[in-house]
Structure 1
Amino acid sequence: MKEHVVRYAVVAVAVVLGVVGYLVFLDGEPAGRYRLAAAEVGDVARTVSTSGTVDFAQRADVAFAVAGTVATVTVSPGDRVTAGQTLGGVDDAERRAAVESATARLAAAQATLETDQQRQRDAATTDDAADDAADDTADDTADDTARHQDAVRAAQSAASESLAVAKTALDAQQGACAEAGEGCAAAIAAATAAQEKVAAAQQTLQERIADLAADLAADLADAPPEPREQEEPAPTAATIAADQAAVDRARAELVAAQRDLDQTTLVAPLAGTVASVAAEPGARVAAGDPVVVVIGAGAALVEATVPVERIADLAVGQRATVTPVGSATAVEGTVTRVGALAVEQSYPVTVTVERPPASLPAGSPAGVDIVVGTAEGVLTVPTSAVTGRTVTVLTGQEATPRIVELGLVGARRTEILDGLAEGDQVVLADLDRPLPSSDQQEGPRGGGQGRLPMVVRGPAPR
């Protein structure tokens, strides 16, 4: 009997030891330590998240955002319309001209900036070339002037010699004639010849002086403009900065003109029936004056706001989901209005839900996710697996961080452009790592989605 008891005890101890050993073995396995998810092909949706207040759209007084002359009205009382449908438009010729004018001003400002920048770059080279040309011209002018001055001095010398000879001949003639006789006639002839030679020398001198004056006048006409201080200076850094400011101002004016042009179209903010039309083609309307009244058939409007830095991603017609507070079920909606004027750094946005559920009563708050980008059939991982531009990949027994190239970042999944292959195991959480305290929380995860790291102990998300 004792032998049977001992035998059973030994078996029980062996079983316990085996179970403990197996558990220890499992605990040491990396796959049991980490919560993993596979990189897989799927779809990604990038959204802008906000919240708003629900109101039932029983009536919508639709007005143009800008003043003008009505060009078209495409609906009549009794017509059924859908959210986002065009109802009419005002004459856009003036605003198209404004866009063209703003485009021309921007082009002119950019041309001025480019010209001044080029002049600034070429200033040093231009100055050097001008100095060389001025030096060459000055050398040629000096050579010509010296040559003509030499000719004048030679003519002056010849004239002086002729005068001296003539004076001697005249003295001789006067002496010969005073004594009378045959020598007087010869002396007169010599004095006359000398005087003629003086006249010829004086004529030559006058010609040389005239040549010198003409040469000086020609040199003066061909000389480069002086002084250098009168030339237009190269653009300064302040001039370039002013040119850039003019370009920025012209670009902002073009954006505003384009926005005004886009607002010449009247769009139905909800689906329903046209109750009345208050204008016809040719009529003048003011901004904000109701033109078409649409009565909604139970549609709900969610009036939300979007920060100014995200407004450029939004457009009328984008798909959205609306989630009532306290509910896990979202309903489909459509962006039907994007406000043109910011209020406290936020723009008003209207999302229309055609068939609101009972969980979306008037006056209740609701979360709104507007889809601003999608990618289908791409390699993805859970967004919670992404930290900055890295993911941790489990290869064999080792988990190592890997830098990846991110594409579209969604709330749940993120597109991976490079760095991973389909089937790679990425780490979502380290089960052996304690939860971070409030002063140990890490930075945002998921490519800027603002999530803090967490340990997921349920099934790995797919």
Structure 2
Amino acid sequence: MTADEPVRTPASVRRAAKRRRKLVVSGVSAVVVVSLVGAGAAFAANRGSAGTYRTATATTGEVTQTVDAVGTVASAARADAAFSVAGTVATVAVGVGDSVSAGDVLATLDLTELEDAVESAQETLARAQQALEDDLASQTSSSSTVAGPSASASSSTSTSTRTSGTSASIASITSTSSAGTSGVSQAVATTTPSAAATSPSPGSASPSAEVAQALEAVELAQQALLDGYDAATAALESSSTSVVGSQEACAAFLAATDDDLPSAPAEGEADDDTGAGAPAQDETSAPGVDLAAALTTCQEAITAALGAQTDVDGAQHSLLDLAAQLDAAIQTAQEALAADQAGGSEGQTPGSSGDSGTGTGGSGTSGGSSGAPAGPSSGDGSSGSGATGPGGASGTGGSGSGTTGPTSGGSATSQQAASAQQVLADRAAIDLAEAQVAIAQADAQRSTLTSPIAGTVAQVALAVGDQVEASSTSAVVTVLGADGYVVETTVPLTAVVSLAVGQETAVTVSDDPTVRTGTVSSIGVLSTSTSSTPEYPVTIALDPQDETLYEGSSAQASITVAGGTDVLVVPTSAVRATGTARTVAVLRDGTVTDVTVEVGAVGQETTEITSGLEAGDEVVLADLTQEIVTDEESSTGLTGLGDSGSTQQRGQMPSGGGGQFPAGGTGGPPSRG
């Protein structure tokens, strides 16, 4: 220490430090003033009420609100062509960089597999058709009834086939009756030839006619059921067409807006036909929209759709009734067949129903004892010789044709007749099989992959021999068209609500400073985000240009969502938010008053005020009476640097509106312990 240097006491050190702090604070204040002036160049920074407040004047100007997003560039006309059917790739006709026109062949599939699929579908259809024929035949065949005691019935049913015609059933029944009485006829012929020629087989003529009538009723019921099925199917198709037609017919009326409502007549306006106050005929609707006609068309279409649905209900109920009638006809035919077989069995003699075999007839006595079948019941179960002499007719038994009885070597075959429900199921299976055949045939015609657009091949993601799935998203041939570019991006929920198709957009691509223009072309409604914050896809169509852009390159987009010229604006910093409310502090006659306002476009520097203020109002930006907190009052950890003289407690924010945080926030630096 020299003699000229003053003595440094603790008090002098504190005073020097305080002077330095004041210089620093003054510098900071200057910087704040400059930044405010720079941010609001359109406004003059005023000192209102004897320099107490820093204010700005609400004035008219231009403001723009934008939504910024980052996306990628893609071709506007891009096609990822993929086979619509599964198969094996047979040929690939293009490579990357090739130019193609719409319809040019890109690749083909192996036809062998597709043709096999067609044949398989046709075989399935044939089996379904055969199943229907078999089930219909089972309802009119004598083999579908319960086997009777007659030996002749067993003999005939063992060789009968399932036929669907009435004539076949009648022929089967006729042969059954004839075979059942052959032994009786021959025995009668040996004694009284004239009787055999004049007497019919017992119990065969009348029942056969009843069976034929019953079987004919079954066939008629079958045809009625199939016709009813076709009618119900046609009604259902007509109903579907009517529903689609009603939706299209009502689209114009449902799309009507308030602008399409009839115009209200001017007060006192009179119409020549309807009197005072009635609207003119040419003012019933907005130009180009006839609401009355649209409503009438919609009502007529809905009425037609309801009528078609009623027809479907009626056809389905009728089908159920027809099914019940067929089941009843089948039951009646079975009962008639059983009665016919029982009647034929009762007309046979004991000798004719015994076991078949070959033997010599016994001698009858003249005394009139009844003859008995001669020889044991042995043989091949098909024919034998015997005598059936009633009244003791003498002689050796002549050879005769016997029939197989219930204990014969062959067994009778019986099957259950199909129900009406099974017939309907068979008919539905045929419809399904026919649809599968049509699909297989159509698939066989889709074995060639063609380009949907004209452009340049950018990717070939398949090769010969590859197994591809139908409509694959990976095995594709990508073609880029020459119709320009789009930018695909996503925006959060808070921003998407302000977007609309057609909004202007400024776009910069990668490191290119050139600003390109475009418009919003589509806005998605499904979130693509995997996090809890939803984001929605947005597509921006760039205006036509000659430059070539690269697929997938990064792009910065600024979408103009609101704004205008000659609107009332204030600095954005003057607007405070409290919940959903917006307020501005207005200085009037030296008094600051909080005024609730409605805002429009919110720009980076200015905000549009739609209500609450008028041009010329002085809005408060800052309260200059609020002391700027120095490092002694701030949480710097420094102690012992003296007292600023403020009565404000350390760690608290200055009182008054100007000391609040933006958007209504409160708080302050932590206090020192």
Instruction: Calculate the TM-score normalised by the size of structure 1.
Output: 0.34
Instruction: Calculate the TM-score normalised by the size of structure 2.
Output: 0.25
The structure where strand makes up a greater share of residues is 1
Q: Considering Cα pairs closer than 8 Å and 6+ residues apart, tell me whether 1 or 2 has the greater RCO.
A: 1
Larger Rg: 2
The structure where helix makes up a greater share of residues is 1
